[in-house]
Amino acid sequence: MPPTAAPKTPGNAPLSAPARAMKKLGLLRDIDTALHLPLRYVDETRITPIGTLRDGATGLVQGTVVDSRVEQRGRRQLVVRLADDSGELVMRLLHFYPSQQKALAAGALVRARGEVRAGFFGREMVHPEFRVVAPGTPLPTTLTPVYPSSAALPQAYLRKAVASALQRAPLEELLPAALLPPGLPSLREALQALHHPAKDLDPATLEDHSHPAWQRLKFDELLAQQLSQAQAQAERAKLAAPVLRPGPLTAKFEAALPFALTAAQRRVVAEIQADLRRPQPMHRLLQGDVGSGKTIVAALAAAAAIDAGWQCALMAPTEILAEQHFRKLVGWLQPLGLTVAWLTGSRKGKARAAMVAQVARGEAQLVVGTHAVIQDDVAFAKLGLAVVDEQHRFGVAQRLALRRKLEAQSLEPHLLMMSATPIPRTLAMSYFADLDVSTIDELPPGRTPIVTKVFEDGKRDAVIARIAAEVAQGRQVYWVCPLVEESEHIDLQNATATHAALSAALPGTVVGLLHGRMKAAEKAAVMALFTRGDMKLLVATTVIEVGVDVPNASLMVVEHAERFGLAQLHQLRGRVGRGAVASVCVLLYTSPLSPTGKARLKAMAETNDGFEIARRDLDIRGPGEFMGARQSGDALLRFADLAEDAPLLEAARTLAPRLLREHPQAAAAHVERWLASKAEFLKA
Ligand code: ADP
Ligand code: MG
């Protein structure tokens, strides 16, 4: 069905300002407008006698204008005296049109709704909602909705538009009643109840979203999401991918592993290998806490691809992270006779051209890099597997670009995404329902848990003394500053100044500086010094957030920790505790702490478990930040709340496959109704 503007505009006439405002709110089709729900309600179903309205009370009154005049009291204002049988009050308008002044002439019958207060002119309502009515005009029989709107879109206009869209919208029941959770009204009944609630209903039950009408909308929305993801999964299953079986290379690699895999690593390797053996593209997320050992798992997946005669690409969001991977993979795989190519933004000219040629000829079996890996001029001879680290840092477009690298062969590569930010269960069941998930839920043995301490910035000197003690024992230290050099006006300690201050406070200690503005080669030089242990203290902005692996680092200080997100703090903290020595993470904060800042630091001090951190983060921030690649301007869920509506989510998840099987047309119609405008986005 073509989108219908509500209210309709004839032909190509330019849209009126309110119609444009509706479009801006996304209210295009009748169904969209019908789903634009009230924020709250006002009761205009009964008139309160003027004389009985207490001071401070809000009510609807109806009276006859006995006097109306413009007065100049400080400013120009329209003062209208209203009377009914029980008393009088004044309606005072500070902004008014001449047309309003005319309509409010003596003798006019007026309905006004507002708060009564004792004022300069006696009991008065300042700027009430009002309208002039003909005698005998019936009162509404339902509560009056108040919609989310914008300045250009008056409530009265929006109310009419919604009411007529509700009439026109195709709201017929699509789902077999027997399959719906019990006690839910039909969609039409639900919307009728939400837009025009019966007058005896307590609006609070609607406003807190617990009413069955709300439950129905939430359920429908969650079901649409489940269905569309199931469809995406089914469509992917129709695509062909190369069959990648482990062979002699994998066997040699396994025999030469520098350590024994943990049970969790062995399990996820088996899950991934099973996927790779299938002729359909893998679409799997490998999640595991910081330091749980995802890289070796990716390397084993790569070995299977290469065994089968295909190439593997590994893409990481930052150059430092990509380089860490590159070094590890070269260390593990080069001795087995493989060629590993390295592609990043800073590699240009002849060196880059040579690498690109190796990739195109298939001589480089493994390609590691940043976004540079998906540049147009990079053509793979035979890309069989793409691994994306920290997948939430990449956009949909970039993931699609990686998958398209194989289009020529009409085969899709397998896709392995890795993330250290575990997806909380409710999100895994909803937004990520089409992903297969493997979880490394165990750290390699021999790690001593990191102790996290939270201090006010005033304790700085004691912290610096602690740094000196660590360094004296031959250990290394990170100092992290939340520097945003671009925004001078933000009052943050500048990393350069901190570097100078710490160098002065710790004479004889080699202190380095690493920040985002440095050239890649400079960064690499600093990292090399720190990795070798020649540099003892590294002052850095969040460029070290991911990927740095220096087991000798045993202390991390995070300055202005209150300015970091919880997931980011957890990632940062994971840079220490990589060896057997007991490590400490010190979070310095500056008072006063906001409630969320306090909650974040408390969570950090209380747990090292990335899953628990992710759960608390979801509580503190809501789901938006977890979405990463799936993040779009507008939230995908408008009505349902994953935390609150877990039971409805379960019900939708159970129903979706059955509906697809038994009532595929109803399923398709339901998705169309709810997600037509988002369909493209969901496919990515
Ligand atoms: P992450 O999951 O954060 O990417 P890495 O893959 O970087 O973790 O691994 C963290 C560190 O642990 C690396 O130094 C890696 O070589 C080491 N490691 C990984 N697996 C094991 C294991 N099974 N036993 C011992 N060390 C391991
Ligand atoms: Mg990693």
Sequential DSSP letters for 94-113: SS--HHHHHHT-TT-EEEEE
Judge whether 378 and 311 are in contact, CB under 8 Å.
no
Residue 133 has pLDDT above 90, yes or no: yes
Is 295 close to ligand 1, i.e. is its CB under 6 Å away? yes
Ligand nearest to the CA of residue 328, numbered in listed order: 1
Q: Give the residue whose CA is nearest to atom 17 of ligand 1.
A: 293
- Going by alpha carbons, the residue nearest to atom 20 of ligand 1 is 293
Please enumerate in sequence order all residues whose Cβ is within 8 A of that of 251, keeping only pairs 6 or more positions apart, or say none: none
Nearest residue to 308 (alpha-carbon basis) of 251, 379, 249, 254: 249
Query: Residue 391: pLDDT above 80?
Result: no
Q: Predicted confidence band at 300 (pLDDT cuts at 50, 70, 90)?
A: very high
Please state whether beta strands 144-146 and 40-42 pair in parallel, antiparallel, or not at all (unpaired): antiparallel
In Å, how far are 105, 465, 536, 548, 615 from 533, measured between CA atoms?
Answer: 87, 20, 6, 13, 36
Give, for 114, the enclosing helix (H) or strand (E): strand 109-115
How many A from CA of 471 to the centre of ligand 1?
24
Cα(266) to ligand 1 centroid in Å equals: 13
State yes or no: pLDDT of 17 exceeds 80: yes
Is the pLDDT at 679 greater than 60? The verdict is: no
At what angle are helices 610-621 and 566-573 packed, to 10 degrees?
Answer: 160
> Is residue 653 included in any domain, yes or no?
no
Residue 86: CA atoms inside 13 Å, Cβ hemisphere, count? 10
Q: Is 149 in the pocket of ligand 1 (CB under 6 A)?
A: no
pLDDT of residue 640: 86
Q: For tokens 């220096």, what's the residue?
A: 550
Å from CA of 547 to ligand 2 middle = 5
Same domain, 294 and 264: yes
Nearest one of 529, 610, 614, 613 to 291, comparing CA atoms: 610
Is 180 a member of any domain? yes
Ligand lying nearest the CA atom of residue 288: 1
- If asked whether residues 184 and 299 sit together in one domain, one would say no
577 lines ligand 1 (CB under 6 A): no
Which residue's CA lies nearest to atom 15 of ligand 1?
A: 293
Nearest CA to ligand 1 atom 16: 293
118: domain CATH number?
A: 2.40.50.140
User: Which residue minimizes the CA distance to atom 18 of ligand 1?
Assistant: 293
Note whether 412 and 504 are same-domain residues. Answer: no
Task: Tell me the two tokens of residue 194.
Answer: 């939400």
> Using CA atoms, how far apart are residues 374 and 541, in angstroms rounded to an integer?
27
Q: What's the confidence (pLDDT) of residue 234?
A: 81
Report d(CA 64, CA 107) in Å as an integer.
6
DSSP-derived pairing of the beta strands 511-514 and 537-540: parallel
Q: Which tens digits make up the pLDDT trace of 43-99?
A: 889 999 999 998 898 999 999 999 999 998 888 999 999 999 999 999 999 888 899
Identify the pLDDT of residue 683: 43
pLDDT score recorded for residue 202: 82
Q: What pLDDT was estimated at residue 483?
A: 57
Does 483 share its domain with 578? Answer: yes
* Two tokens, residue 340: 């590993």
Query: What average pLDDT score do residues 629-646 get?
Result: 63
CA distances from 196 to 35, 40, 144, 146, 188 (A): 13, 11, 7, 11, 12
Instruction: Tell me how far the alpha carbon of residue 292 lies from the centroid of ligand 2, in angstroms.
Output: 8
| pLDDT range class, residue 490, cuts 50, 70, 90 | very low
Does residue 558 carry a pLDDT above 50? Answer: yes
3-state SS of the chain: helix, strand, coil percent to 5?
45, 20, 40
- Kindly report which listed range (256-270, 581-595, 639-653) carries the lowest average pLDDT score: 639-653
Cβ of 288 less than 6 Å from ligand 1: yes
429 vs 545, which has greater pLDDT?
Answer: 429
Give me the amino acid identity at 360. Answer: A
Residue 512 has pLDDT above 90, yes or no: yes
When mean pLDDT is compared across 141-150, 244-253, 432-441, 542-551, the lowest value belongs to: 542-551
- Position 296 pLDDT exceeds 80: yes
For the segment 234-241, the average pLDDT, to the nearest whole number, is: 85
Closest residue by Cα to atom 9, ligand 1, is 293
What is the extent of the structural domain holding 34? 17-41+146-208
Same domain, 83 and 194: no
In this structure, the residue with its CA closest to atom 24 of ligand 1 is: 444
292 lines ligand 1 (CB under 6 A): yes
59 vs 89: CA distance, rounded Å? 13
**Which ligand sits closest to the CA of 329?**
1
CB 121 within 8 A of CB 90: yes
Q: How far is the CA of 420 from the centre of ligand 2 (A)?
A: 7
Q: Are 21 and 158 spatial neighbours (Cβ–Cβ below 8 Å)?
A: no
Q: How far is CA 585 from the centre of its chain?
A: 27
Q: Which residues are registered as beta bridge partners of 387?
A: 314, 416
Please check whether residue 512 is in contact with residue 476, taking contact to mean a CB–CB distance below 8 angstroms: no
| The pLDDT of residue 283 is above 80 | yes
Q: Which of 607, 630, 661 is the last residue of a domain?
A: 607
Number of domains in the chain: 4
Answer for the pair 387, 312: CB distance below 8 angstroms, yes or no.
yes
| 651/654 Cα distance (integer angstroms) | 5
Instruction: Give me ligand 1 centre to Cα 291, in Å.
Output: 5
Q: Where are the beta strands (DSSP E) in 380-529?
A: 383-388, 414-419, 436-440, 451-456, 476-480, 511-514
Domain-ending residue, one of 562, 592, 607: 607
Ligand closest to Cα of 261 equals 1
Residue 93 belongs to some domain of the structure? yes
97-131 per-position pLDDT tens digit: 899 999 999 999 999 999 999 887 789 999 898 99
Q: If you average pLDDT over residues 576-595, what whole number do you get?
A: 89
Beta carbon of 290 within 6 Å of any ligand 1 atom: yes
Give the start-end residues of each E strand in 222-346: 283-288, 311-315, 340-343
Whether 183 and 328 map to the same domain: the answer is no
Label the pairing between strands 283-288 and 553-558.
unpaired
Q: What is the pLDDT of residue 488?
A: 44
Question: Three-state DSSP class for 460?
Answer: helix
Specify the pLDDT at position 395: 60
Residue type, 89: L
Same domain, residue pair 485 and 420: no
Mean pLDDT score, 510-522: 84
278 shares its domain with 426: yes
Preceding amide of 170 cis, omega within 30: no
How many angstroms does the Cα of residue 537 sit away from the middle of ligand 2?
A: 22
From CA 607, how far away is CA 612, in angstroms rounded? Answer: 7
Residue 430 has pLDDT above 80, yes or no: no
- Regarding whether 487 and 532 lie in a shared domain, the answer is yes
What pLDDT does residue 311 have? Answer: 95
| pLDDT tens digit sequence for 170-200 | 999 999 888 888 899 999 999 999 999 988 8
The region that residue 243 occupies, defined by phi over 0 for left and psi between -120 and 50 for alpha, beta otherwise, is: beta
Pocket test for ligand 1, best of 324, 442, 448, 549 (most atoms within 8 A of CB): 549
**Closest to 283 (Cα-Cα) out of 148, 151, 375, 385:** 385
Give the tens place of pLDDT for each residue, 437-463: 899 999 898 877 899 999 999 999 999
Residue 465 belongs to a domain with what CATH number? 3.40.50.300
pLDDT at 248 > cutoff 90: yes
26, part of any domain = yes
Residue 1's pLDDT is: 36
Same domain, 279 and 427: yes
Least confident span in 417-431, 582-596, 623-637: 623-637
* Other CB atoms within 10 Å distance of the CB of residue 580: 11
Average pLDDT over residues 516-533: 85
Q: What is the pLDDT of residues 311-335, one digit of tens each?
A: 999 998 878 788 888 988 999 999 9
Phi-psi region of 362 (alpha: psi -120 to 50; beta: other; left: phi over 0): left
**Predicted local distance difference test score (pLDDT) of residue 547:** 55
Check whether residue 128 and residue 181 sit in a common domain: no
H helix count then E strand count, the chain: 23, 22
**Mean pLDDT over all residues of the chain?**
85
Q: With bands split at pLDDT 50, 70 and 90, how would you rate the model's confidence at 605? A: very high
